[in-house]
Structure 1
Amino acid sequence: MGSGQSSLSYRTAFVQLRNRTQPIDANNDEFWDQFWCDGPTRISDMFASVPGSEIRLLREESPGNLATLCYKAVERLAQIAEASFPTTQDQQTAINCVRLLTRIIPYLFEDPEWRPFFWSVLPAQNESNSQATSSVPLAQTLISSLCDLLFCPDFTVHSLTKPGPENVEDMHTIDSCEYIWEAGVGFAQSPAPNAQHDANRTEIIRLLLVCFSETMYLTQSEARSEVNKWIAFFSGPENRHVLPLFTSLLNVVCAYNPSSSSLPYNHLMFTDSREPLVEVALQVLCVTLEADTHNLDSMEKRRLNSSTSDDSGTNLFLNYLSRIHRDEDFSFILEGISRLLNNPLTQTYLPGSAKKVEMHQELLILFWRICDINKKFMYYVLKSSRVLDVLVPILYHLIEARNDKSQLGLMHIGVFIILLLSGERNFGVRLNKPYTSRTAFDITVFTGNHADLLIIVFHKIITTGHQCLQPLFDCLITIIDNVSPYVKSLSMISASKLLHLTEAFSQPWFLYSAPNNYQLVLFLLEVFNNMIQYQFDGNSCLVYSIIRKRQVFYQLANLPSTDEDIREIMSAHSSLRRRFEVPPDTEEDEPEEEEEDLELDQNEEKATEDTFQDKNKEIVASAGEESTEKKQEEGVELKNGDVAEASPKDEGKEEAAATDKSGNLQTSLVGTPSLASMTTDTAPVGSSADAAERVSGDDLHSHEGPSSPIHTALPPSNDVSGSRQLEETFAVADASKIKEKTDTSSDQKSNEGIAPTDTTKESSKPSKKSQSRRMTTTSTVASSTSTSARTTTTVPWRPTARWVADWREKLPLQTIMRMLQVLVPQVEKICIEKSLKDEPQILKFLQNGTLVGLLPVPHPILIRKYQSNVGTTVWFRTYIWGVVYLRNSDPPIWFDTNVHLFEVQRS
């Protein structure tokens, strides 16, 4: 039968199914067999033969016939899976059943009344099997049958010839662990590639993904409170194939090499059967590793009551992933992910000669989940420079997507991954490796290390990115802050970029336009302090840039702070409050102004220094007198700020989107939680290596400002006995809790950087109910990402003199001002006496200088680490399903259905 005639017959059968006035008997095999014995030969033909409107009509007009059709298709799959030796005809029948269910199931999920249908049981055909089937839901029968078929010899796996009389494989007795699809984790043999096996696997896994997609048709509140039973059963202990399935999916993804052929343009002449399999396997891994089979509300309760134990919802995919520990397995996973991430960056002499794959969003999600679930893997990634093989493509995609509003989800996942990595000392140390890649970045050409690349890319995102990225500024600056104590040297270009950002963020109108904008300046000041105190010797370019831009810091020390001044500033810049705009970056165009720039206005500088020194004395004097009452006051301020951040931002909302290849579909995402709820502050709480053992529940305290006098007054630790040890696990806290850890070392200025000693403390603040309510609404990704309330809130807010005075005292200007007080006169003097006029000579003078004994006591290192919370879990769930929705355009599985987890915009 030809393809066209087959499709026509198939369509006719569907019309008959809808038009029959009486329910069709389930035992009428002659009628039902026409749906899978002579069906379309391609899945695209199936989608063309059965339009969505026909399925909806069938669902509304003949629900009994539609239910019987699904029952019969699942029953037929179960019969084939239970057969000892499925024939070739059985295999084709199974594929046709899979295609039919792939087409129908999304339209059943649309209707809430149909969703429990699959958790009903198969009707008993006779008395003998009535008891056996009465307790098995239809969904479990379907999942079990599909998993059996994924390890069916000569259908989806190679047949293994066994010695002895029992040399024929029986589906009932085979050990699926012997049939893992690819060598890698837990399996050493690499079966020969088979295009037909890959095609059959792809069809079956695609149906599994369709079954899991019930989440798409739930609202945010429903998805938060309900368990995805499909994923729970698939990844649970009742699935006898769960281990070989996990290893097969993971190994197929990580072993895939799209550029394995050395022949140019080979991919244009031959079809790659493995790429579709890798894509769908990667998507199944993402959704199964994302899902905790407990609902999010119960996750929250268990987190608050750690004594509660419930193994009924165990996700074995998460369990197996967390138990991987061999270095060779870690190397295999990391090499596979980095190879695929770097594939779009590959440069060839012949344009288009190498195959390019576009699965970087799923790869980033998978990498994120592996790092979050298996901390040993993350530490393995960080202990060598191979982490840079992941960082560079992330930065590349961030640069490419910065102006595309539909790629906001990609921007967020990339920044979240770097934020997670930046919480570890080794990441900052690895950034010192010289950057020699030939990747075509859309940035200023520079010679330097990977820290320079990171800063230049972040500067480009902030200054030229889409305005919806503004809420990400906190995360970007926090990452730079986290790595700054370990960066040995910055180039002149990256140093000037940091000063340019400081100049932009320190503009009074911007500082006064939102309650927490000042934190961006505070973080940047911490960056400068870290480099001055711990890496001064190698950062002469940064010191020189600070000297050239010293007026920025003088102005920060003397900000206009009266109510009248504030009103005047905000009135003059009222039109700019809705969007942040940076001043022009002219650092690289002013070499001739260096000598003039070094001539000081002695009276102005003297007045500025005197004012700052007077204020500095007051701060230092009060540092030793801080009391518990003061700490509590600071904690209350933070708490109030968090409540304000959690309120819905109804104005200025924009729909974030991820777009498909054609660019005509977009999906919205929920808002992400604030930076404060995604990170933990690390600060010194002791000086010995066993300090962690002394921390108990009595040590809990409210969160303090990261640069408060309490912190800066404490001396650094001189004990390094445990400084090189890495944490084995992260403590998972509530989204509103702030966890304190130590990151200190006595070897604070060594070439190796700073080695941390971690000690844990948690605050006792209650969780924010308003934030959990906000997570159930659909809004733009960028609407609530960070702590800064740079978009309008429901409650009008106005800056006051008292508010400015509160945070201005927290700005850590002491170290920078002291450095300027010492170096500016010396630089000016040497320029006059030796007639130094060019930049290299001044830099050489600064390189040979020292500030030992002249700067304040080195401050403790403060690192803000990412911590898991319910808010990010909700965001990732929506983002993952949005990516899956858009990536499956051929065939368009979900495009014509009404999903509720996110909004779909069609342009």
Structure 2
Amino acid sequence: MGASESKLTFKEDVFRLAREDNIPADNAWWAQFYELPETADDVFALWSPNDVRNLTLNTAADKPAPGAQVPPKKNLETLIYTCVARLQALQTRRCYADPHQPIAHEVLNCMRILARLLPYIYEADHLGEWERDFFWNERRAARIWDTKRNRPGEPFDGLSPSKKLRTSSSDEQENNGSAEAGEEEETPSKPIGAPLGEHLIDLLVRYLFFPSFTLPKKLDSEGLPDLKVHYHIWNSGIGCRQSVGMTKDNEKHAVEVIRLLLSLCSRQLYIPAHMVAETDARPLTYLTTSPDRQAALSMICSLMNTVLKYNPATWRVPIDFTIEGDPKTKLVNLSLQLLLVLALYPDPTGEANQYRKAMSRLHRVEDFQFIQQGLTTVLTQPVSGMASYLPVPQRNIPWAPEMLILFWELLQVNKRFRSFIIETDRAHDFVVLVLYYAMSAKDEPAKQGMVRMCVLILQTMSVEAAFGERLNKVFVGQESLPSGLRVGNFHGSYGDFLVTSIHTLMTTTQGRLESIYPALLAIVNNIAPYIRDLQRATSSKLLDLFAQISSPKFLLEREGNHHMLQLLLQAMNGILEHQYQANRRFVEVVVRSRRRFRALRDFTVEGAVAELDRQAQERKDRGAGDGLASGVRSPVRMNSIDSIRSPLSARSPQLGNVPEDSTFALCDDDDDDGMTSSATFTAPLSASTSLVDDAVPMQSRSMSEKARGKQPVGQGSFSRSTSRNASTASLPALLTPQSSSTNNTISTSAPQTFRPTPEWIETWLPYLPLHTILDLLDHVAATTSRDAPAVPAGTPEHPGWVPSQEVASPTSQAFQWTSLSLGWYLSLLWGLVYASDVATNKGVNGIWTGTSIKLFNIVASTGGSVSLRSPKGAIDAVGASLASRISSIALSPRERET
């Protein structure tokens, strides 16, 4: 906008909208709002949040009572009608005396005004009923109050104010309440068109493919700008071999259209996370379930090709991946966000999402290669070698998290693409990339949601048997990885690398990721039957996890922590039952840790609390205080133990001999049994060693693993109702940082008011899958002696071990979607969209800046950036879903069901 005087005049007219209601809709005064502003900054700066909120209230001074449904000022309706009508007119006819005059200026201003208004309409609870009626019910006649006559004015079509829908005689008849309208007349009660929201969406989709606006200029047969929509795919790639050649102006205009579409679809931002997956967001419902087929295919291909074809590795120095300034970069970022918002929407009505359906039907190998190349081009930027050739450090591309979401969506909805990735060496690249983003974000509280997503991506891949087989490839070039991902002195396969990384995620995050411990263990469980030749260091890390998860401190801290112990034991069983001969080092480490397994078999509450008291006393003696870091304190003993003697109390003294706090070492707990550091099984049979039958947990003897798995809830399986107690961290993304610790230990985020009892122990301890390991330990003890020579297992001199019970076929544990976990997922996506908008559009120029968002909380930092935090009282949906699936088996990932 020009001089400051014109801005002051425009601002005064903005004030007039709130001060003087019922301004006639056919007044030429309305045209200034889409004619005068010159930039998006003009619109967003001159329409302050207070100006817009004043339009949503029926009176300028009073706010509606909580829960009351009050319509907004009539001027708000007229302003929306004015913008939509102008968008329609500019698309369907030449509105200027000079037909060659460009339309972009007015089109963009109309879109900017609507993008400014919609979030404030969505945030106003008192406008919920009005919003549904005004935007999503069939359009009816509008009225402006006649202030001169103090009565409702003549009804008219809001999109064409000059079109009156009643004659004066019929108005008079209405006032008398006695006559009907004439035959050719339309009444206010009769619908006059499709819902305004649907009409607006149709206009915007057509503007995405409009010549001289988002497509290159095209002339008709008369030499005038073509007004016909052409559904041409923007860039070559999926469904198209040649790009249309968008100019920079075309890209800028497409950015504005997509920005308005995101604003229109952002109704989900103003719904609590626990309700968002079950709430009908009408703009998204219409976009995803009722699109014109040609328009939908052109739109999804245009968005995907724009995202996947973009190559950030330009020759410009310095390389800058910021979104500001470059229209191409903005278009890629917003195209990816709109694509994901459309693809992730779960229609509560049960209708098929046409965008997810289109993604699931991709089948050409060249399309999969195009997708894979586009994904890796973006995701590999921080780990590529470009930094060694250019004088600038490598940087993450801002939309890398959204690219990971796109990758996950394609894995879930398209089985062919999943096979294309997993059954080739491309799976190795994506394992490393996903782990890189998880590792780089694990210590940043604001990025915990991204870590969870990375873990769930790996779980989705791990349910395929081919993925486990592929992990046996030797990992070469590990020293070239970024320092945060590199493993010191690493030797082994991709399976070793994955297990080691999982150990790091669980033991170095001080409980911040406790909600995804089950998912991490499920990954190990899924790949266990297929991985071979695990290295000794990797095997030691698995046993370190076992030592920590089976410790009294961990088991007594929360009621559901034993579920994770079951998962880890199932994974260890998978290695022994399916790959015993190929994992000699792992078997050796298990045998050397035999006392831990036997101590677990003999676990009691009384013995566990006694051990915790002993450890606390040792810390006190060392001057470290008398409290337990885990939150399980000795007073529990007085409340629940002293009055109840455990029937297994005779076995409790063994716990005192098992160190709980030190990191697991190969021989740290077996020295008194005569176990040496030799690579063979030379330990003697201890006098206290049980027979095979005694090694089986009580109530599970003479019962196969398969049979125990079929027991009802409470008799060997795990209840969904108790699994929710396994984790209580808030979602979507941010947890309160825990105190730093140098120890690699598994922690939980907060102490719980759980009181363990012997009866509680008996509900799960007898059903732990310990039989396979105890059977192996007894076999080794029976076939070796103290003076036996060092003979490898599996030779005639040292017979191989065979499980004494039936071995079930390998099964996988897939993540199952629920409305709560989907609420977390949507909050993660919209959080990324919101943060990107704030970073790109500073101050009041953000679409949603300053509005009352309910999907997540916004925490401003001292540096001016924002962090996203789940609302108070939000349920840890991911943790609940993961824990509830611990004992459920799925053979392959399934598409989400709402």
Shorter chain as denominator, the TM-score bin is 0.7 to 0.9
Label 1:624 to 1:425 Cα distance change in 2 as closer, same or farther (>3 A).
closer
Percentage identity across aligned positions?
25
| 2:816 corresponds to | 867
Q: Which amino acid aligns with 2:13?
A: A
Deviation at 1:368, TM superposition (A): 2.2
1:142-194 CA distances to partner (integer Å, 9 max, x unpaired)? 211111111111211124689xx58877434x441xx1111122111123352
- Tell me whether 1:490 sits opposite 2:534 in the alignment: yes
Equivalents in 2 of 1:288, 1:579: separation in Å? 46
TM-score of the superposed pair, with normalisation by structure 1: 0.73
Label 1:875 to 1:655 Cα distance change in 2 as closer, same or farther (>3 A).
closer
Label 1:646 to 1:471 Cα distance change in 2 as closer, same or farther (>3 A).
closer
| 1:897 corresponds to | 851
1:483-522 matched pairs, under 5 angstroms = 483-522=527-566
| 2:653 corresponds to | none
- Tell me whether 1:444 sits opposite 2:492 in the alignment: no
Equivalents in 2 of 1:324, 1:888: separation in Å? 31
Q: Which amino acid aligns with 1:899?
A: I
Deviation at 1:541, TM superposition (A): 2.8
1:365-376 matched pairs, under 5 angstroms = 365-376=405-416
| 1:199 corresponds to | 252
Deviation at 1:500, TM superposition (A): 0.9
Secondary structure, in 3 states, of the residue corresponding to 2:607? helix
1:268-417 matched pairs, under 5 angstroms = 272-295=326-349, 313-347=351-385, 348-349=387-388, 350=390, 352=392, 356-417=396-457
1:209-220 matched pairs, under 5 angstroms = 209-220=262-273
Deviation at 1:633, TM superposition (A): 5.8
CA contact (8 A) 1:220 1:901 kept: yes
Equivalents in 2 of 1:258, 1:368: separation in Å? 22
Equivalents in 2 of 1:453, 1:235: separation in Å? 40
CA contact (8 A) 2:793 2:800 kept: no
1:726-737 matched pairs, under 5 angstroms = none
Label 1:216 to 1:625 Cα distance change in 2 as closer, same or farther (>3 A).
closer
1:88-167 matched pairs, under 5 angstroms = 88-112=101-125, 113=127, 114-116=130-132, 117-119=134-136, 121=139, 123=158, 124-127=160-163, 134-159=192-217
| 1:237 corresponds to | 290
Return the index of the structure with the highest Cα Rg.
2
Label 1:186 to 1:874 Cα distance change in 2 as closer, same or farther (>3 A).
same
CA contact (8 A) 1:253 1:282 kept: yes
Q: How many corresponding residue pairs?
A: 739
State which of 461, 472, 481 in structure 1 corresponds to 2:516: 472
**Greater alpha carbon shift after TM alignment, 6-15 vs 461-470:** 6-15
Equivalents in 1 of 2:705, 2:853: separation in Å? 58
CA contact (8 A) 1:181 1:252 kept: yes
Label 1:238 to 1:865 Cα distance change in 2 as closer, same or farther (>3 A).
closer
Equivalents in 2 of 1:625, 1:196: separation in Å? 66
| 1:762 corresponds to | none
1:883-894 matched pairs, under 5 angstroms = 883-889=832-838, 890-891=840-841, 892-894=846-848
1:471-528 CA distances to partner (integer Å, 9 max, x unpaired)? 3211111110110111122223222211111111121232233333223233222323
Label 1:88 to 1:330 Cα distance change in 2 as closer, same or farther (>3 A).
farther
Label 1:267 to 1:901 Cα distance change in 2 as closer, same or farther (>3 A).
closer
- Tell me whether 1:77 sits opposite 2:87 in the alignment: yes
Label 1:877 to 1:387 Cα distance change in 2 as closer, same or farther (>3 A).
same
| 1:25 corresponds to | 24
Equivalents in 2 of 1:639, 1:340: separation in Å? 43
Equivalents in 2 of 1:901, 1:625: separation in Å? 44
Secondary structure, in 3 states, of the residue corresponding to 2:859? strand
Equivalents in 2 of 1:801, 1:333: separation in Å? 55
CA contact (8 A) 1:119 1:139 kept: yes
1:502-651 matched pairs, under 5 angstroms = 502-559=546-603, 561=604, 564-569=606-611, 575-578=628-631, 583-585=661-663, 587=665, 598=676, 606-610=686-690, 613-616=693-696, 622-623=702-703, 634-636=712-714, 641-646=719-724
State which of 745, 748, 761 in structure 2 corresponds to 1:804: 761
Equivalents in 2 of 1:523, 1:96: separation in Å? 57
Label 1:850 to 1:70 Cα distance change in 2 as closer, same or farther (>3 A).
farther
| 2:643 corresponds to | none
CA contact (8 A) 1:258 1:355 kept: no
Equivalents in 2 of 1:276, 1:96: separation in Å? 19
CA contact (8 A) 2:80 2:114 kept: yes
CA contact (8 A) 2:90 2:103 kept: yes
Secondary structure, in 3 states, of the residue corresponding to 1:241? helix
CA contact (8 A) 2:449 2:828 kept: yes
- Tell me whether 1:458 sits opposite 2:471 in the alignment: no
Equivalents in 1 of 2:797, 2:23: separation in Å? 92
CA contact (8 A) 1:227 1:293 kept: yes
Deviation at 1:402, TM superposition (A): 1.6
Equivalents in 1 of 2:749, 2:435: separation in Å? 25
Deviation at 1:133, TM superposition (A): 8.3
Equivalents in 2 of 1:792, 1:584: separation in Å? 21
TM-score of the superposed pair, with normalisation by structure 2: 0.74
**What 5-or-longer segments of structure 2 have no aligned partner?**
61-71, 140-156, 166-184, 617-626, 634-658, 738-746, 862-898
Label 1:805 to 1:789 Cα distance change in 2 as closer, same or farther (>3 A).
farther
Equivalents in 2 of 1:48, 1:225: separation in Å? 35
Label 1:584 to 1:536 Cα distance change in 2 as closer, same or farther (>3 A).
same
CA contact (8 A) 1:160 1:169 kept: yes
CA contact (8 A) 1:405 1:466 kept: no
Deviation at 1:141, TM superposition (A): 2.2
Deviation at 1:888, TM superposition (A): 1.3
CA contact (8 A) 1:509 1:569 kept: no
Label 1:493 to 1:23 Cα distance change in 2 as closer, same or farther (>3 A).
same
**What 5-or-longer segments of structure 1 have no aligned partner?**
300-312, 660-665, 669-787, 835-841
1:448-468 CA distances to partner (integer Å, 9 max, x unpaired)? 222122111111111111423
Deviation at 1:81, TM superposition (A): 1.8
- Tell me whether 1:423 sits opposite 2:501 in the alignment: no
Deviation at 1:320, TM superposition (A): 1.4
Label 1:522 to 1:543 Cα distance change in 2 as closer, same or farther (>3 A).
same
Secondary structure, in 3 states, of the residue corresponding to 2:689? helix
Q: Which amino acid aligns with 1:444?
A: V
CA contact (8 A) 2:237 2:370 kept: yes
- Tell me whether 1:65 sits opposite 2:75 in the alignment: yes
CA contact (8 A) 2:235 2:302 kept: yes
Q: Which amino acid aligns with 1:24?
A: I
Deviation at 1:89, TM superposition (A): 3.4
Secondary structure, in 3 states, of the residue corresponding to 2:161? coil
CA contact (8 A) 1:538 1:847 kept: no
| 1:856 corresponds to | 804
Deviation at 1:324, TM superposition (A): 1.6
What do you get for the CA RMSD once the two structures are aligned?
4.1
| 2:827 corresponds to | 878
Moved over 6 A (4+): 128-133, 166-169, 579-582, 588-596, 599-604, 617-620, 624-627, 788-793, 824-828, 844-850
Q: Which amino acid aligns with 1:568?
A: A
Equivalents in 1 of 2:532, 2:363: separation in Å? 32
Equivalents in 2 of 1:847, 1:477: separation in Å? 33
CA contact (8 A) 2:234 2:245 kept: no
**Greater alpha carbon shift after TM alignment, 268-277 vs 498-507:** 268-277
Label 1:490 to 1:11 Cα distance change in 2 as closer, same or farther (>3 A).
farther
